[in-house]
Amino acid sequence: MTLYIILSALFVLISCLLLVPLNIRISNRLKIQAHPDPRKIHREQTPEAGGLSFGLPILLAQAVLGIVWYKDYGVLLPGLAVTGLLALIFGVLDDRFELKPWPKLGGYLVLCVVLYALGYKVTYLTNPFGTELYLGWFSFPVSILWFLAIINAINLIDGIDGLAAGITVIVCGVLTYVGIRFHNILVVSIATMLLAGNLSFLKYNFAPAKIFMGDTGATFIGLNLAAITTAGESQYKGITSMTLMIPLAVMAVPLLDVVLAVFRRLRRGGVFTADKAHIHHAMLGMGLSHRTISIIVYIVTLLFGLIAIGFSFTGKQVLFLLLLSLLSLMVILAYILMRQELKNEKDSSLPSDSRPKP
């Protein structure tokens, strides 16, 4: 199995490197491009739907491995490949025609329900003071909400050259380690292929980007990360007590961005109203470059990843306290950012002669 996983990752790595130039030409020819817009950061017309470059090799490798390992894992891998193909098709349509929020949410829900039906689901939640909590029929809504959170987290964080791809590489590196440590071959196989594909894509996507992954890539990545975090009958077989905690820690940065976006948009009267107030936008406002922002967020994500790895060596009580501390820090940071945003909005609404002097 190890040999199969290594060969699959190499296939994805090389295929993506070869496909990106072709992807650029096809995206330009079919007018699948990101155009300059007040809501967006880039100032030049750039080919989009770059997610095809790593998505197609990954789903092909998943299908082949799924057939080879069918006796052990049933439809989990080939089913994920089919669902990934649906995600790529949906993403290309979104990148080409810029779908409205409600159709996009409907598409995400369909993907999440299919993923759940295949067997990727949150079955247990950690109880730090006793045995794990079996969710029963609550598994469906909890799983769907978790999948939606991950998919939207990747979509929202994909606003700076190389940011989403780099975060994905780090997240998958951490999840690969955890999968190896607890002998979850399904986690290792999906994570290594996603890591290899995004590592290749970074060559063309890191600032200044020659192509964007678009919703095609972000949706595909989110779907596969959702699958990784719930792979198998018991998430991370042997450590069901850590269900969702490791991915929650390692994906803290994009998930925090989702939480801030929801509260910010609710306050403005529309959850689906796009804006330029994400974490990376705030960092741009501080005068940081795309490269600098990406590297800073990479480092922060890596630190959370190391915390996540540390989770696998602790008891449940220690694990719970670490997660509680982490969530508390995130809440404090979210509060500070929201207060600063409210102050900036108040200052910008004042006449120029009555604004606070520096």
Top pLDDT among 182 and 108 is at 108
- The residue type at 207: A
Q: Across the chain, what does the average pLDDT equal?
A: 79
pTM: 0.81
**The pLDDT of residue 9:** 96
Contacts of 4 (CB under 8 A, 6+ apart): 65, 68, 189
- Pick the closest to residue 13 from 161, 203, 188, 226 (CA basis): 203
**The pLDDT of residue 354:** 45
**Average of per-residue pLDDT across 265-277:** 55
**The pLDDT of residue 253:** 61
**What 8-state DSSP symbol labels residue 122?**
-
- Pick the closest to residue 172 from 147, 191, 193, 189 (CA basis): 191
**The pLDDT of residue 248:** 59
Residue 247 binned pLDDT confidence (cut-offs 50, 70, 90):
low
Residue 44 binned pLDDT confidence (cut-offs 50, 70, 90):
confident
